[in-house]
Chain A
């Protein structure tokens, strides 16, 4: 998909960037239901398994296996779980910080907006040291009733071995 670019400073780039910042702030403030309301009912929220491969074999993402592969209901389940008082992996909660950079905005298919953004997420939990999660998110955004919604998010994590205990946080 190679639609027209919307450069930094353009109205759409500004709107998308602001949307991603707001989304990140919701996650860092543990407002999971509000965060979930940003997704469309046909969403696929997805983090494929990555493998170490030689360059000629591609980037090593396995389309047949994922670390996370949610639809609307299972993503809602994940968000609601984090708001319960018994999701022990996040209760008491970790402190996360979502740093979103390198935002690139293009026209996507069917009137959607194709956005890629880099993330660095830090997690510190209990008395433990920082954990880092980095990668790229490929989003399809849709304009619904005047607001942006996420219709597809493919999270391309940089690690082939997740060295950070679990993926109990959101990206």
Chain B
């Protein structure tokens, strides 16, 4: 199914890094031993650009962000800037945000509605389907000097949409999105289609953190950090004063590096059923989900997942304030590496389309108060990612590994009703190990399909 492309000489698979080590030696994922070097080393970061950010599928945005023809937002696809636009015919398209002439960005705002994308530099103008329509001073080109039909905006190699989530890749040899997602799609159904669909609220929060993008990823399915990293919220009574409180669930790996978990609340706690959604929405779960999907959703309050490499959801049930009641929200996240030790974070709030105005308000408030750069949960995570990064740039630190061994010998749970490999006890580092194993596989794979 996949054509094999020749690796470039500079990045032959299993290449030795300076110092003579290989990526296989640095990432012993199955043992839970990952070298600190992979987080901060500029040499490894450069390899990531080619092996991961030119090859993987990336989340770009959600259909609801561009509902009308001409609506556009600017985003990253991997590490390249793109325009996500709905064209005049209503077709969703993703282009490199760069004029074919001198390469200037053709969209310089975060969002807009436009009939044409006009480059300010020399005035080249493109339709929303990417085709080049006008070039000023065109008559000064001689015959054959300007082939406008060949100079449309550069499209992504593949674009895929799953329940409104728009993904794209620069890799023409990548498997189609559905195949890339594999069993993860079954779990995405639970998160984004349980009540018939979700929509994005407003624009994403965007902020920069002086950290390796991989520390932010590592944190996302980590339940064990909550009690210590968010200790201030335990002290304020917003989290249970029980170091084991987030262990009542399952960690799941679905293949291709995709990872997730589902966590239950205290027994009999209604706020932790049906992913924390209000009771009046529960019948919609039966309508939209398969029985096993519904069974999982009904029994859990919290879920976090990573679509490899850098798109995440967080379905959380929490209070946004002292002595408050727990409420649910659904958060999407994306990391854009700006360098080996600097990362741009994107964070969206998603709401079930079927939700009441009352639920929308409380879900929004709870999200903003707890997550994003101003959120009283999230801001402590950023401190941790920065300190993890600072401490691991030096040559002495890079000779040592980090430690991801929790549950390294744990057996899979045969009673889990969903696909993938599930491990009961949601305290465990099997999700991170699976993510690093996939990172190593893609970083050392010879061809564009990641084989």
Contacts and interface: CB of A to CB of B under 8 A. Distances in A.
B380 interface: yes
B31 interface: no
Interface in B199-216: 201-210
Nearest to B238: A77
Interface in B233-277: 233-236, 238
Contact of B323 (A62, A73, A86, A165): A73
Nearest to A127: B390
Contacts of A76: 321-322
17 contacts: A49-B204, A53-B109, A65-B202, A65-B203, A65-B368, A67-B205, A67-B368, A73-B322, A74-B324, A74-B369, A81-B376, A84-B235, A91-B232, A163-B208, A165-B373, A167-B373, A168-B380
B112 A89 contact: no
B386 interface: yes
A166 B368 contact: no
Given A49-B204, A80-B322, A88-B232, 15 more contacts: A52-B108, A65-B201, A65-B204, A65-B368, A73-B324, A77-B369, A81-B236, A84-B232, A87-B380, A88-B384, A160-B206, A164-B208, A165-B208, A166-B383, A167-B373
B349 A65 contact: yes
Interface string B287-320: 0000000000000000000000000000000001
B372 interface: yes
A145 interface: no
Contacts of A166: 207, 209, 373-374, 378-379, 382-383
Contact of A65 (B205, B321, B378): B205
8 closest Cβ pairs, A-B complex = A65-B202, A64-B202, A162-B207, A86-B231, A166-B379, A167-B374, A51-B110, A68-B374
Given A67-B368, A89-B382, A49 B205 contact: yes
Nearest to B211: A165
A62 B368 CA distance: 13
Contacts of A89: 379-380, 382-383
A33 to B, nearest CB: 13
A2 to B, nearest CB: 29
A91 B229 CA distance: 12
Interface centre among B206, B238, B374 (most CB of A within 10 A): B374
A57 B112 CA distance: 9
A73 B320 CA distance: 9
B100 interface: no
Interface centre among A71, A77, A78, A162 (most CB of B within 10 A): A77
B111 interface: yes
Contacts of B421: none
Interface in A111-166: 160-166
Interface of A: 47, 49, 51-54, 57, 60, 62-71, 73-74, 76-78, 80-81, 84, 86-89, 91, 160-168
Contacts of A165: 207-210, 373, 382-383, 386
Given A65-B349, A67-B205, A89-B380, A161 B323 contact: no
Given A161-B206, A162-B207, A165-B210, A64 B386 contact: no
Contacts of A77: 236, 238, 320-322, 369, 376
Interface string B336-351: 0000000010000100
Contacts of A80: 236, 322
Contacts of A167: 373-374, 379
B321 to A, nearest CB: 4
B374 A51 contact: no
Interface in B98-149: 108-112
Contacts of B344: 161
Contacts of A164: 207-208
